[in-house]
Amino acid sequence: MFLGLPGQGMHLHLDALSLLFLGILLPQTVASAAAGMYRSGTFWAFVLGMGLTLAAADAFTLIFGFELMSAASWLLVLRGDQKPATLYVGVAIFSAACLIPAVFLHGGAVMFLLIVLGAGAKAGLAPLHFWLPRAHPAPPAGVSALMSGGMVKVALYVIIRYGFVVLGQQAQPWWGGVLVAAGAASVLIGALRAMLETELKTVLACSTVEHVGLIAVGLGIALRAKAMGDETTAGLGLQAALLCAVAHGLYKPLLFIGAGEVKHSVGTTSLNWLGGLVRAMPRLGLLMLAGAAGMAALPLGPGFAPEFLLWHAAIGAAGAGGIVARIGFTALLAVLGLGAALAIGAAVRMFGIGFLGRPRSLQAAAAEEGERGPLIGMALLAALCVPVALLPNLILDALSPVIRLLEPQAVLPPLAYAPLPLAVLAALVAVGAAFILYRYGVRGSREVPAWNGGFGKPPPWLPFGDPTTQPSATGFGEPIARAIGRGLLAPGGGDPAEVFLLTPLTRLHLRGVRLAERIRRATIRQRLAFIFMALVAFLLALGLGEGS
């Protein structure tokens, strides 16, 4: 083959796991290409890198694909903005520095931890998630979509591949605990920040952190259960994680492409300047609503079934094991509940502030319907969301070969959730209610005095209404920021990982640079003195070492 180590060549092999992730990758690639990225060669290099990682059968090809993906996506982020790209490339280098030694180790806990560090940094697992809300919104929408929907999945694929397949025989229960802890932290911080951020794309990126956390929690429960021989919980955890990956790979690219269209049409994605977009862009609004339903993990949406399974898995894990595990998994249930609630809040806030109500700026009022290509891509993703949302049993059946590959003895209980009859019932009720309203309701509109928080009919001198009568995105999130944010965020409202990890690292780096600069600025005599001192120190060490 044309790549690979000299004398060994490149090995590609497609098994069920690779096929599943390639299948997750395919629709969003089509949608991103339709959204206008098909002209970019770097984009296709990015896709090629992801495909190569997924299809790799040897460590070298895997790493090659992974780094090709990183490099190409860095170039694509660089098109958007420079600072996030620099942060991103720093994290990518860190992840490479963990992964490359890891894949050439011969098993063991160190290898697993390095894999989780390297691939987890790339996937956005806490505490190495700080780059994701900055880097994902920067590039063009199609790339953001593929980074959020595809690239983090590829990183998770690496964790699954090594955690379950390569190191499957030597797995320890605490390995799963590591994944669960990191995932729970991601869920909490991602959901909270999604509730508080005001940029549409940043909200989506934070929600990605949350969903990566959910997948990691599922994987962690499964890995722990597998190591402990609890086959039912292992099956549930894997079902939850993989179904979540499938669903997230559909609605998150949809939302990102939609955000790109909003930016294209309005000129900004700051929620504080949007509003009322559903009237100007009805099709886009409808598609975004479908995506938001997935993000919120509401019943009948694509995001509910995985969360439902994850709850079952967590309850199953909480019912077994020692006292610490029981308490820990019960706390995990609380974290998952908080995460789900915050996710609903974030989705409602995103759609309600951005698309409902009155426009908050002239640009939002003058928005026009999105272009054809992106809308077609979004419609494709939304159409694929329907079977995931309404027929999760079918999807789970399709996933069972993958789960058997990861855990041959897994027990796969049937899903106790049948959304299709529910949807039919809900539709019947809705049609009946509409009919009753139509038949017996009051015709025409009535004007009532302004009581709705001042949100009445706009006065003639302010055709779009007074912007200050509408809650802003910041104001909407403020109660949450006060109630929960104070405890979880760093003082000042920053991301704790940024404040407690990134800032000290930056300071350390600055100090190193200053030191290097001082050496570089040294005069000739000082340099001579450095070399001289080094020589003397060496001689002294030699002499003392020999003498003793």
Which is closer to other proteins, CB of 83 or CB of 527? 527
DSSP state of 457: S
CA 30/CA 76 separation, integer angstroms = 17
Rounded to a whole number of angstroms, the minimum distance from the CB of residue 544 to other proteins is: 7
Rounded to a whole number of angstroms, the minimum distance from the CB of residue 522 to other proteins is: 9
CB–CB of 273/200 below 8 Å? no
Tell me the three state secondary structure of residue 9.
Answer: strand
Helix (H) or strand (E) segment spanning residue 398: helix 392-406
Tell me the three state secondary structure of residue 452.
Answer: coil
Rounded to a whole number of angstroms, the minimum distance from the CB of residue 535 to other proteins is: 7
**For the chain, how many residues are written?**
548
CA 160/CA 223 separation, integer angstroms = 9
Which is closer to other proteins, CB of 3 or CB of 535? 535
**What's the one-letter identity of residue 330?**
T
Residue 443 burial (C-beta neighbours within 10 Å; 0-12, 13-18, 19+): exposed
CA angle 287, 290, 296 (to 5 degrees): 140
Distances (CA, A) of 401 to 130, 235, 410, 465: 35, 12, 11, 56
Which is closer to other proteins, CB of 165 or CB of 536? 536
Helix (H) or strand (E) segment spanning residue 394: helix 392-406
Helix 231-266 with 304-318: angle, nearest 10 deg = 150
Which is closer to other proteins, CB of 452 or CB of 548? 548
Rounded to a whole number of angstroms, the minimum distance from the CB of residue 86 to other proteins is: 24
Which is closer to other proteins, CB of 433 or CB of 536? 536
Binding interface with other proteins (CB under 8 A): 521, 523-525, 528-529, 532, 535-536, 539-540, 542-544, 546-547
Which is closer to other proteins, CB of 327 or CB of 539? 539
Rounded to a whole number of angstroms, the minimum distance from the CB of residue 547 to other proteins is: 5
Rounded to a whole number of angstroms, the minimum distance from the CB of residue 513 to other proteins is: 15
Rounded to a whole number of angstroms, the minimum distance from the CB of residue 29 to other proteins is: 49
Which is closer to other proteins, CB of 447 or CB of 546? 546
Tell me the three state secondary structure of residue 288.
Answer: helix
Residue linked to tokens 């919104």: 137
CA 158/CA 164 separation, integer angstroms = 10
Peptide bond into 127 cis (omega under 30): yes
CB–CB of 68/50 below 8 Å? no
Which is closer to other proteins, CB of 376 or CB of 529? 529
Alpha helices, DSSP H only, in 267-281? 277-280
Which is closer to other proteins, CB of 433 or CB of 542? 542
CA 153/CA 212 separation, integer angstroms = 8
Which is closer to other proteins, CB of 445 or CB of 548? 548
CA 146/CA 43 separation, integer angstroms = 9
| DSSP string covering 471-510 | PPHHHHHHHHIIIIIHHHSPTTS--HHIIIIIHHHHHHHH
